[in-house]
């Protein structure tokens, strides 16, 4: 149904992006309410926009963002009009929805939000914030006449709002302990939730090496008659960090497996797509004055371990860390991994009240300095004698840092 009205309606011209985005903002306190009933009912009311194109879904604890970005870049390089849905955004909410490699335009965004809002009012369904963002993606990609879509799972997999599609391929990046209050407190339980994105007819691929995880994924894939492809190789990528080469390899193998279904994919387009991949806030480097500034989400122990060797080998001393983290993460373990790598640490609070307070963090690092305001904490680090400033612990902090430092450079 949505394909028959593929261009924004005249109503879009009288609605502003600001008013539509305010509607999204009003749902930020809706919380996490697991279950797919609400989103399925709304999608039915909207005419099933998620069925207007084939989809590929990417789940995992870490690396799913860069893996999905690499695969979307490959598909764009192959000549497919590709939609890419990801979360969270770093600076601008429009980053969550890209079409043919560019952030969503205002007209498509407004039309998508308004269609969703009308459906929610008509059905008297109150969706969560993430459900709304996901439905907006489905509508926007249909309006834009995307030929294929890459969906990054928000949390888990089985009950995630993205898991209403029947994908061409399901990719699962490395799994670790995260969101344990919702997904379970063991690796096998979390793997079971992530495995929920594997459906009948989907090509199943993973870069996991943990036998406990692989056992769960093999069982789910076998249930639906699909072999599980385990990718343990690496592939060159412009994204920094050895772990990114593993993420790139997973995306490349997925593209190779999809050649039969998406015949415009070629070896050349795969290599070009990988080379053109951009993914901000992951070991991103900026030069501010005489300092190298590195920005990375680094928001859980698995991610911290992945970037630790890079810091040790590539980030010049003396080093200062600006650190803030959400209180529901494995904070002690992240602190134990990262803090010994730095000469100084500045603590901050990127997203109160969800972030751990600087007073609580000081109990773990009594010698650290602190400023609850991220902007001041970053400026303090930039004013220090450090050769390198590393900003990590949360994607909220990474986004704030990118915005602040880009403005700083523009003002110079």
The tens place of each residue's pLDDT in the chain, 412 residues long, gives 333 334 444 444 456 777 888 888 888 776 778 889 999 999 999 999 999 999 999 999 889 999 999 999 999 999 999 999 999 899 999 999 999 999 999 999 999 999 999 999 999 999 999 999 999 999 999 999 999 999 999 988 899 999 999 999 999 999 987 766 667 779 999 999 999 999 999 999 999 999 999 999 999 999 999 899 999 999 999 999 989 999 999 999 999 999 999 999 999 999 999 999 999 999 999 999 999 999 998 888 888 998 999 999 999 999 999 999 998 888 999 999 999 999 999 999 998 888 999 999 999 999 999 999 999 999 999 999 999 999 999 999 999 999 999 998 887 7
Which residues in 137-146 are b (16+ Cβ under 10 Å) and which e? Answer: bbbbbbbbeb
Residues 6+ apart with CB under 8 A from 242: 234, 309, 310
Residues in the chain: 412
Shared domain for 361 and 255, answered yes or no, is no
Shared domain for 74 and 191, answered yes or no, is yes
CA angle 255, 230, 241 (to 5 degrees): 75
Shared domain for 292 and 213, answered yes or no, is no
CATH number, domain of 17, equals: 3.40.1190.10
Shared domain for 148 and 214, answered yes or no, is yes
- CA atoms of 245 and 123, how far apart (whole Å): 45
Shared domain for 334 and 301, answered yes or no, is yes
CATH number, domain of 294, equals: 3.90.190.20
Q: Which domain holds residue 186?
A: 2-275
* pLDDT confidence of residue 15: 65
> pTM for the complete prediction?
0.91
Q: Which of 313, 239, 325 is nearest to 281 (CA)?
A: 239
Shared domain for 254 and 289, answered yes or no, is no
Residue ranges of the alpha helices (H) in 78-226? 106-123, 129-143, 180-183, 187-194, 211-223
Q: Which of 275, 305, 320 is the last residue of a domain?
A: 275
CA dihedral 378, 383, 385, 390 (to 10 degrees): 20
Count CA atoms within 13 Å of residue 267 on its CB side. 0
Contact 176, 110 (CB under 8 A): no
- CA atoms of 173 and 169, how far apart (whole Å): 13
Q: Which of 248, 275, 302 is the last residue of a domain?
A: 275
Count CA atoms within 13 Å of residue 214 on its CB side. 11
Shared domain for 264 and 304, answered yes or no, is no
Residue 386: left if φ>0, alpha if ψ -120 to 50, beta else—which one?
A: beta
Shared domain for 46 and 160, answered yes or no, is yes
Shared domain for 268 and 288, answered yes or no, is no
Q: Which of 226, 248, 195 is nearest to 72 (CA)?
A: 248
Which residues in 91-119 are b (16+ Cβ under 10 Å) and which e? Answer: bebbbbbbbeeeebbbbbbbbbbbbbbeb
Which residues pair with residue 56 across a beta bridge? 150, 169
- CA atoms of 390 and 289, how far apart (whole Å): 15
Shared domain for 230 and 344, answered yes or no, is no
Shared domain for 402 and 262, answered yes or no, is no
Residues 6+ apart with CB under 8 A from 16: 110
Q: Which of 275, 308, 323 is the last residue of a domain?
A: 275
Shared domain for 258 and 301, answered yes or no, is no
Residues 6+ apart with CB under 8 A from 308: 337, 338, 341
* pLDDT confidence of residue 182: 64
* Tokens (6 digits) for 293: 């500034």
Q: How many domains does the chain have?
A: 2
């Amino acid at each position: 149904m949505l394909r028959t009205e593929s261009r924004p309606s005249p109503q879009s011209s009288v609605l502003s992006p600001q008013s539509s985005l305010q509607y999204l903002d009003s749902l930020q306190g809706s919380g996490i309410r697991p279950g797919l009933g609400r989103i399925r009912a709304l999608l039915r009311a909207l005419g099933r926009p998620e069925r207007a194109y084939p989809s590929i879904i990417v789940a995992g604890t870490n690396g799913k963002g860069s893996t999905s970005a690499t695969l979307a870049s490959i598909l764009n390089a192959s000549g497919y009009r590709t939609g890419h849905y990801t979360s969270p955004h770093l600076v601008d909410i429009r980053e969550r929805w890209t079409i043919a490699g560019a952030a969503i335009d205002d007209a498509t965004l407004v039309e998508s939000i308004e269609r969703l809002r009308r459906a929610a009012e008509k059905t008297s369904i109150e969706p969560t914030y993430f459900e709304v963002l996901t439905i907006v993606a489905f509508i926007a990609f249909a309006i834009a006449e995307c030929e294929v879509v890459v969906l990054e799972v928000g949390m888990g997999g089985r009950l995630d709002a993205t898991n209403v599609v029947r994908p061409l391929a399901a990719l699962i990046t490395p799994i670790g302990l995260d969101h344990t209050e919702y997904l379970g407190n063991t690796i096998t339980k979390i793997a079971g939730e992530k495995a929920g994105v594997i459906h009948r007819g989907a090509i199943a691929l993973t870069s996991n090496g943990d036998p406990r995880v692989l056992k769960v994924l093999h069982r789910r894939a076998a249930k639906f008659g699909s072999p599980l492809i385990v990718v343990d190789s690496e592939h060159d990528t412009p994204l920094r960090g050895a772990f990114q080469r593993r993420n790139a390899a997973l995306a490349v193998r997925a593209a190779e497996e999809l050649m039969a279904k998406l015949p415009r994919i070629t070896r050349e387009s795969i290599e070009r797509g990988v080379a053109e991949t951009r993914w901000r806030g992951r070991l991103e480097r900026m030069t501010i004055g005489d300092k190298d500034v590195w920005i990375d989400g680094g928001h859980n122990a698995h991610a911290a371990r992945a970037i630790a060797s890079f810091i040790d080998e590539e980030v010049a001393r003396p080093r200062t860390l600006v650190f803030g983290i959400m209180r529901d993460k494995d904070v002690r373990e992240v602190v134990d991994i990262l803090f010994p790598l730095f000469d100084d640490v500045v603590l901050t609070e990127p997203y109160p009240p969800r972030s751990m307070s600087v007073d609580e963090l000081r109990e773990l690092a009594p010698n650290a300095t602190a400023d609850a305001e991220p902007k001041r904490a970053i400026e303090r680090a930039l004013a220090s004698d450090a050769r390198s400033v590393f900003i990590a612990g949360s994607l909220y902090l990474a986004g704030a840092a990118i915005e602040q430092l880009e403005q700083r450079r523009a003002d110079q």
